[in-house]
Amino acid sequence: MIQPHIAVVDDDAFQRRVLEEYLSRQGYRVSGAESGAELRALLARRDPVDLILLDVQMPGEDGFAVARFLRERGNIAIIMVTAASDTVDRVVGLETGADDYVVKPYEPRELAARIKSVLRRSGRNGPPPANGRLRFGRCILDLDARRLTTLDGEGVALAASEFALLKVFAQHPNQVLSRDRLLDLTSNREMEPFDRSIDLRITRLRRKIEVDPSKPEVIRTVRGAGYMYAPDGD
């Protein structure tokens, strides 16, 4: 079995080494980078990275800027690492395309569980999703390739968490799914008191797939109940 490749991006050399050693013991192949520039150099080596563990508070180019660069580049899974008191950082991290976040100080087992969950949702760890190409508004979702394209075939950057949402909607057409249900189906963890991840991710998806994101016809809001995928806007 191929080991998933994880990049740890943190300017704190001690914390970076601790994470590298721990994740290596968990069976992952791990590379370290102290900055966004080092991460770019790592990615340029054409050694595919499956998941990036990204610290928010770094001098110069912070984690948010790095996350935006990664989202423009493709669908590498991202877990942001934030300070315990920085609720705003968590929301901003999700808005910039992170798939999940962990809060310092964290338990190593919690981090390992989050990594497994994100890798599973991204399709990089575990059985592949069912074959199929589905229309989502002005885009086509290829479940087998885990790829979103425009109708003209142009690739659209898609986070692992966004793919997980689209896959769930594809499996439940014309069904109203609550936020709690979507969280259960996509990440298998309980919603935190201020967790806006589902709303943020659906907002991002609408910008990509809807003809008019301000008047969504594909992923619709059902007031007081949740969201519904309407194939072909039916």
Q: How far is CA 163 from the centre of its chain?
A: 8
CA distance 134 to 108: 38
Between the two ends of the chain, the Cα-to-Cα distance in Å is 42
Report pLDDT for 104.
Answer: 81
Domains of the chain: 5-122 (3.40.50.2300), 133-233 (1.10.10.10)
- Whether this prediction's pTM lies above 0.95 is answered by no
CA dihedral 223, 182, 162, 62 (to 10 degrees): 90
* Rounded percentage of the chain residues whose pLDDT exceeds 70: 82
Which residue, chain included where needed, has tokens 């991460």?
39
- pLDDT category at 127 given cuts 50, 70, 90 is very low
Q: Which residue has the tokens 């912070």?
A: 62
Q: How many CB atoms neighbour CB 176 within 10 A?
A: 14
Beta bridge partners of 100: 79
pLDDT in tens, 20-65: 999 999 889 999 999 999 999 988 886 788 899 998 888 888 888 8
- pLDDT, one tens digit per residue, over 141-191 is 998 888 999 988 899 998 888 898 999 898 888 888 888 888 878 864 544
DSSP code, position 117: H
Distance set, CA 145 to CA 2, 131, 160, 205 (Å): 18, 8, 12, 18
